[in-house]
Structure 1
């Protein structure tokens, strides 16, 4: 309750705003577009933003010209819409419902749609005029005039804009928007369950180099046996295959 409930509680929202939610999706979308422009100096950044807005207005103006005009007829009806356990008073003429959702978003609620469908009328005829094509065209009726590049601008006596103080923030600088906790991050991790580990020293399966000293005696015996077999083969080449020659024991240290 330290925050003003009018800024976050839907029950206290002002009607006639054509919006029933508080979100920063519009600013986040715009911020994602200018992510590269933000890295430039302020004059270059503003120039790129001007070009982007100019192109955006032109494209939206062409899009609005492809739509037809919508006519909003005169409406005179009142209903009491009942559900399983509740009931709401609805006025189609004033476009109001006691649930207040229609007054907030200005394009209707579930109770208004049920009443309009009961009369076999078009739902679009009850949408607020702010969502109509003429209002959309009016929003993009202006234009941003073209201009010359910076080297052709006239000189002034004003103080030139200085770059901001370079302050390095802790951690790696972020260039992407922060995702919500309900968004899918898209990460995928492969499980290592059932995978056999191999020692990087003796190349045996079942242990790693961290537990290799515990298996050192067994490994040394195997290497001694290999050394003894090698001596037998050499003696066999000289014509003696009765018994392997005796050799001095040599201490072997794993690397």
Structure 2
């Protein structure tokens, strides 16, 4: 927090108003067995319902129900085919901790007491019987930390025996054992004798409505634009070009920077203008 106040005072004030147990792992409650500080579960669920969210409310709920119904039995069947007693993701974490456990020196203090030291001189207390370590990772997550696994290997014990029951296969099967019930269709709904619900009246909003026209491929009929003109002389246009930057040319004398209306040569010759008047 001292480092934070020197960098961002506003962030320091926001964190100071909140309970430390809500944003710092050092003050987490050890009963939850969860060290997650992210909302990945909410984001994953939100990504799963991207398409149903655009549907009407009843159709949206029905699409979410079908998705969850399928997810439950897929997860249950996948866990049923798993051979180990520990869940796959937790087992992968333990295997990684096993590799790192050889980096610490174990000082055994009889029974389940250990003192571990790393190459930097840091020391950690571990009690295997109480499943505690002063790093608090074991108490918060329920998964043995790297120091405790080093003590288990020192005594010839198996780290998987110290994992909390909530990460075991049997507990996972109990979670996915409660499946969603199926529903009947509209044909089986009871009739109440009341008039059917009608959609709300369409209110025309002010302003011009936007037209969402499909881009037509070359050769498709697009009104009169695709019909070739009958005159022999055609002008090829590329896109919608404005007159900005175009040099004006007189149609009478073929000179630049003026038109036939203001042409002095045409006026001097006594030509007739568009209104039938003779130039002076």
Q: Does the pair score TM above 0.5?
A: yes
2:122 aligns to what?
Answer: 86
Q: Root-mean-square deviation (CA), in Å? A: 3.3
1:119 to 127, 152, 155: 155
Contact kept in structure 2, 1:15 and 1:104, CA below 8 Å: yes
1:12 to 23, 27, 34: 27
Task: Map 1:55-134; keep pairs closer than 5 Å.
Answer: 55-68=70-83, 70=85, 77-83=112-118, 84-134=120-170
1:145 aligns to what?
Answer: 181
Distance in 2 (CA, whole Å) between partners of 1:157 and 1:3 is 55
Q: Deviations over 1:31-63 (max 9, x none)?
A: 101000011111111111111111111111111
1:188 aligns to what?
Answer: none
Q: Deviations over 1:203-230 (max 9, x none)?
A: xxxxxxxxxxxxxxxxxxxxxxxxxxxx
State the secondary structure of the residue aligned to 1:46: helix
Distance in 2 (CA, whole Å) between partners of 1:46 and 1:21 is 28
Q: Cα 1:110–1:52, aligned 2, differ >3 Å: closer, same or farther?
A: same
Gaps of 5+ in 1: 164-249
Distance in 2 (CA, whole Å) between partners of 1:18 and 1:67 is 23
Q: CA deviation at 1:70?
A: 3.5
Instruction: Select the structure with the greater relative contact order (CA < 8 A; seq sep ≥ 6).
Output: 1
Q: CA deviation at 1:100?
A: 0.7
2:239 aligns to what?
Answer: none
State the secondary structure of the residue aligned to 2:17: coil
Distance in 2 (CA, whole Å) between partners of 1:5 and 1:156 is 55
Distance in 1 (CA, whole Å) between partners of 2:33 and 2:41 is 15
TM-score by length of 2: 0.52
1:35 to 50, 60, 81: 50
Q: Cα 1:146–1:82, aligned 2, differ >3 Å: closer, same or farther?
A: same
TM-score by length of 1: 0.57
1:48 aligns to what?
Answer: 63
Task: Count residues in correspondence.
Answer: 167
Gaps of 5+ in 2: 1-15, 87-110, 201-254, 258-280
Q: Which moved more, 1:111-120 or 1:124-133?
A: 111-120
Q: Deviations over 1:63-92 (max 9, x none)?
A: 121234649xxxx62211122222121111
Q: Cα 1:28–1:95, aligned 2, differ >3 Å: closer, same or farther?
A: same
